[in-house]
Amino acid sequence: MPIAPKTIFITGAASGIGRAAAKLFSERGWFVGLYDVNEAGIAETEQDIPPAQRTRGVFDVRDAAAWKQAVAQFGQATGGRMDVLFNNAGIGRHGCFEDVSEADSALMIDINLKGVVNGIYAALPLLIATKGRVINTASAASLYGPPQLAIYGATKFAVRGLTEALDIEFARHGVRAVCLIPWFVETPILDMPSAGSNRVMRDALNELKVYPVSLAAEGVWKAAHTDDLTIIVGQAAKDLNFAARFMPGAVRRRLKRNMKNR
């Protein structure tokens, strides 16, 4: 009997890291589940993946019942396997705290954090049956609280902490949890409006390094195979991680100077 391909369920697969990861994993023989709230984007992602290697669904990660339906559909397509749940869907809003609306802040919390929690609850039975793993997308914004990304960073800190805790808890089930921590990469999130101005996030970050999305996709591949707890993507993120751990005062002073110069 042929060996069944490994399987990955991807949220946020309509663009950015999710799309790049879907293409990379399919090229390397995996069966991929493409899920997003953006149906047109899912259709575009499908064009890069052979029909026999994919399934798809359109749903909002804030909807716990929709999560259960999507996971059930994926399980039917894979014979009850889920080697990886890639919790990747997320949004961002840039701007000073008081300029970002309460509605936008609530939306980030609901999608970036509650969406991840909903997914883990829904997928855990399949993950346990498969001895699989959860990969949660955090951000370099989870390494040190970033000004003008306060709520976004808070959600990513929470995702990182959740991953650390669950990797310990789920060991008794033979399930891993790994956190992907990319620096800014070339995705549509950089084109989100910057609150309180007529700029987008990309404009506000123009002095910072932006990495190709393919680098993040390789990070997801590594996260699917590593024994490590976190995969940090991009040298800039690695430098920030080092500075935040060993020179937090210097990081804080630099960020304060940058704010004064804006």
Query: Which residues neighbour 143 within 8 Å (Cβ) at sequence distance 6 or greater?
Result: 181, 237, 240, 241, 244
Residue 146: C-alpha distances to residues 33, 152, 187, 191, 213 (Å): 33, 9, 19, 18, 21
Phi and psi (nearest 5°) for 94?
A: -110, 140
What is the spatial distance between Cα 194 and Cα 175, in angstroms, rounded to a whole number? 39
For residues 190-221, one letter each, b for 16 or more C-beta atoms within 10 angstroms of the residue's C-beta and e for the rest, the string is: bebebbeeeeebbebbeeeebbebebbbbbbb
Catalytic residue among 35, 144, 152, 211: 152
Tokens 């990469």: give the residue. 185
Specify whether 152 is catalytic. Answer: yes
Catalytic sites, residue numbers = 152
